[in-house]
Structure 1
Amino acid sequence: MAGNDLSDPFEWAEKRLERELWPREREFIVSGGWARSNDLNWADLRSPEVATDENRFDARLIRWLLTKDLPGVTCRHEGVELWGLWIGNKLDLEEVDCGRSLKANACVFEAPPLLQDAHLKHLFLQGSILPGLNAHRLTCAGNVFLRKGLESNGLVDLAGARIAGTLDCIGSTLSVTEGRALNCDAAVIGAAVFLSDGFTATGEVNFVGAKITGQLSCDGGSFSALQGRALNCDSAVIGANVFLRNGFTATGEVNFVRTEVTGNLRCRSAKIEGVFDAEGAKIGGGFFWEEISGAVEALDLTETSVSRLTDDTASWACVETAKLSGFRYDSIQSDMTVQDRLALLARKGERTLTSPTTKPSTRRDFDPQPYSQLAKVYESMGHRIDAAKVRFARDERLMWAAFARAMAQSKPDTFGKGTAILSLIWGRIYRDTFGFGHAPFKALRTALLILIATWWLSDQTYQRGEFAPASPVVLTSAEWLDASQQGCKAQQVEGCTMPLQLWEQSTAYRDYETFSPALYALDLFLPLDTLGQEDAWAPSKDRGAFGLTLYWARWAVQLSGWLLLATAAAVFTGVLGKKD
């Protein structure tokens, strides 16, 4: 605080200003760093619209006071505090280490303040208007408040700043004609960052490599990129939550590539026009993607890891391309059904395969990892049926992708393509029969169809007499030999009775194994040979079309039975269709 005689500091200041001191400048010297406009309305703080002798103030006085150049004047302990002034000349505090606060609220700066490498206690520029701010490598022991109607028409540069407290830009407006509006590259902020509740930026907001101990709140903020990125948090480290909610809007890319977030990344009730890139991000809490509107060109979650995924179908519908390769999460909290999930995965982005041909390739590879991840989470949450559906869809896509790759080879490879066709045929059989091992009870349907078909064919063959007893004793008996002589010799002709139908009238037939088409079909299908029908009866391949068909078909029925039972055993024991 100055003494009673201020003639020396007044004279010293007027000599350097080359004019008489304005009223607010005299007030500033008298108080040791405090001045306000007489027109200031405390109930409605507004910066002055025009400069007058009553609100004019030269910024050089601030430096002279803080560097103790003003003779006989000591800066007040609270620091410099200005209200509603029109500040001319450049406020130059470069490399000034004063440990005092700088408060210039509801003021107008004619030139961008220079605070590069300065050391301050607090920096408050609430409601002020300035053409930019250079606070590169600023060290602040407390808070930086650029809020409550602050307007900057140039770059606000806090790159490399060390702020022990909060960076508060609530309700401020930052705009540039090109490049960045707010630059916090590699800044270290000891508390939270607020770019919310009416915060508006026209130009990139940059937090690349920044370290924020608290939360990053952009709730209700508006971010518009002139080109490229609207919000850039590439490789930032955030110690709490990230909030992009409640009217958050972004026109341009939102970048959280390789960002580490200790808490949640919440995107809710937000509008995004552009790319949302969180490739390689590590989110300790949940990733929330809810009530999103706008046109999201791409949502990139490649190699992103989160603890919990909370989302909805409508929000994913806003995403043109979903990049999900390597996306990992431990649980899901959502109303989305497994069908919704599969529809999303069906349109996820895939890597384009390069082709050795001269024509550009339009083929896209298939990445199964997002399906496996979803199935794993469903399994851990107890939704085993949903997990099986996801694995089924994945394996079907894998089957077709492998076939497409083999058939698209530019060099002639007859063997390879032939193998691919056989693999596809087997794959489709395996799919329809066992659901790629994830729906093994489909085999019951296949087995039932085979049994019904064999039952019908056996019954029709027997009804036409195109069966014969298979026992050598019967075939050499007098009754059968007599029936064979009197009956049809080969194919059925008019007026001819089949030997079987004649033999049925003999006494020997009554004591023979009764034919049952159902048991015969089951005896053929099951590789047990315990029902006796296959040993007792055989179709006659030379006595009619049905007998000939069944004669050869029984081998296929037996083979299918062996394959189905063997494959079923492999599936149920986990050799095939293992749960990944």
Structure 2
Amino acid sequence: MSEAAVGGGLYLGHGFSCTGTVNLCGATVGASVELCDATLCGPGVGAGDYALHLGCAQIGGDIQAEHGLVVHGPITLADTSIRGSVVLKGARLNFPSGTALAASRTHIGGDLDCRDGLTAHGAIDLSDARIGGSVRFDTAELTAPDSSRTVLRANGIDVGGVVNFRDGFTAHGRIRLSSATIRSALDFSDALLDTAATEEALVCRGMTAAALLLRLRDAPLGIVILSRSRVGLVLDEPARWPASLVVEGTVYENLRPALPATERIPWLGRDPHGFTPQPYEQLASVYQRHGRDADARTVLVAKQRSMRSTLALPARTWSLVQDAAVGYGYRPLRAIWLLTCLLAIGSTLFSAWPPTPVGGGPYPRFQPAIYTLDLLLPLVDLGQERAYSPSGAMQWAALILIGTGWLLATTVAAGASRVLHGT
């Protein structure tokens, strides 16, 4: 029936059974194709040995296979245009040698409905498909083919509604959604991503979605990659964060739950490739946008601390000094408290062991606090340091105060520069 034209519907259900290929390649069907309760057994595993070939077809209605479809062998819907929905509820697809359902570049006007216990042993390929409605895999179980660890390829897919992998969905293998465009939510609530710790569990590079719900059934052992994605809302569960999470280049507007920065920062430290600055800057910008400036500063301090391990020893030492002194410029009150403590110590010391006048006079009246401040503040001349000189152990005290003052001033300047330039 290759390139056949059917003005109405095509009914292959209600106990229909076929061993061999049902070849509808390039066919035109005016209404729906029904496959309910059908059993299709392909002729083999060679190239083109499909159980059902609906490639390059034009379907004027739905593809209905929601009751008891069993397929042993591959199905192709590649390059097919379907005005209605594709309903595969409860279907059993079995092709462990490769791709069980090939629907790349398929255009579906309605939904792709794979709910209610659909099982597939073999990959599902939805690459570059265009789906006007939603994609639903709720309660489905997908198992990767024996020759690959990818269970679902949907790179470049464009979906007008939601994409649901929820309510007990299970994937024994990798899901690929890179460069996908999802105009509503991508939902993994109560889903199980079953892969080994060193394998990719979910790959969403360059994805765009209105919302991403990652409230998984259990924390995935495999790697979840969200790099360079754009998401309006990310909703997750800290107890079920992936062991390995890549969010480099990811942009989002809101995070739920709205955790304090100290609880959200560990989310950024799960990248198996190590430190990158953008995830910290992105998280800080979200806190700032919602008026949580203290949390934003905490994240930016954490960024500098994480970056410290990537620096050479001299730079690492200088980083430690900046952290302790002014929190990299994000904790300026530390400098004031440190200056106050040094001023109190110096004033006490020089009150007990005052310095002696130098030069021919006249001398300003010695004031221990102003003298200490004159030592601490570089490039500021209060007249006391020039007029008096300490002796004995007080010379060392004065040198320590002068050095500390220069170090503090340099640290404050570096931190202020960092804050002003947003680094």
Partner of 2:389: 538
Aligned-partner Cα distance in 2 for 1:201–1:521: 78
1:105·1:125 contact (CA, 8 Å) conserved in 2?
Answer: yes
Shift in Å, 1:460: 4.5
1:128·1:151 contact (CA, 8 Å) conserved in 2?
Answer: yes
Correspondent of 1:257 among 175, 178, 185: 178
Q: Deviations over 1:234-290 (max 9, x none)?
A: 12111222111111111101110111212221111111112111112122x011111
Partner of 1:313: 238
Q: TM-score, normalised by structure 1?
A: 0.65
Shift in Å, 1:142: 0.7
2:375 equivalent to 1:524: yes
Shift in Å, 1:553: 3.2
Q: Provide structure 1 residue ranges, at least 5 long, that are not aligned to the other structure.
A: 1-92, 351-364, 404-420, 476-511, 542-547
Aligned-partner Cα distance in 1 for 2:219–2:332: 43
2:226 equivalent to 1:330: no
* Structure-2 change in CA distance of 1:257 and 1:474 (3 Å): closer
2:269·2:275 contact (CA, 8 Å) conserved in 1?
Answer: no
Letter in 2 for 1:557: L
Letter in 2 for 1:371: Y
1:203·1:225 contact (CA, 8 Å) conserved in 2?
Answer: yes
- Counterparts of residues 21-170 of structure 1 (less than 5 Å): 93-111=1-19, 112-120=21-29, 121-131=31-41, 132-170=51-89
**RMSD, aligned α-carbons:** 2.5
1:216·1:241 contact (CA, 8 Å) conserved in 2?
Answer: yes
Shift in Å, 1:558: 3.3
Aligned-partner Cα distance in 2 for 1:551–1:369: 47
1:324·1:349 contact (CA, 8 Å) conserved in 2?
Answer: no
2:265 equivalent to 1:422: no
Larger radius of gyration: 1
Partner of 2:402: 558
Give the fraction of aligned pairs with identical amino acids, expressed as a percent. Answer: 25
Correspondent of 2:299 among 365, 383, 390: 390
2:124 equivalent to 1:205: yes
Shift in Å, 1:366: 3.1
Partner of 2:277: 368
Q: Deviations over 1:112-164 (max 9, x none)?
A: 42211111121011122222322122210111111122221222221221111
Aligned-partner Cα distance in 2 for 1:98–1:394: 64
Shift in Å, 1:331: 2.1
SS in 2 for 1:268: coil
1:278·1:301 contact (CA, 8 Å) conserved in 2?
Answer: yes
Aligned-partner Cα distance in 2 for 1:160–1:320: 38
Correspondent of 1:240 among 152, 155, 161: 161
Partner of 2:393: 549
Q: Deviations over 1:417-459 (max 9, x none)?
A: xxxx433332222221121122222212322332243234324
The total of aligned residue pairs comes to: 404
Q: Deviations over 1:345-403 (max 9, x none)?
A: 223121xxxxxxxxxxxxxx632111111112221121111111111111222233121
Partner of 2:47: none
Correspondent of 1:445 among 312, 318, 337: 337
Aligned-partner Cα distance in 1 for 2:221–2:107: 31
Letter in 2 for 1:443: A
1:437·1:577 contact (CA, 8 Å) conserved in 2?
Answer: no
1:208·1:235 contact (CA, 8 Å) conserved in 2?
Answer: yes
Partner of 2:115: 196
* Structure-2 change in CA distance of 1:309 and 1:535 (3 Å): same
* Structure-2 change in CA distance of 1:280 and 1:473 (3 Å): closer
Aligned-partner Cα distance in 2 for 1:245–1:445: 53
Shift in Å, 1:340: 2.9
Letter in 1 for 2:149: G
Aligned-partner Cα distance in 1 for 2:92–2:206: 31
Shift in Å, 1:292: 3.5
Q: Of the two structures, which has the highest relative contact order with CA contacts closer than 8 Å and spacing of 6 or more?
A: 2
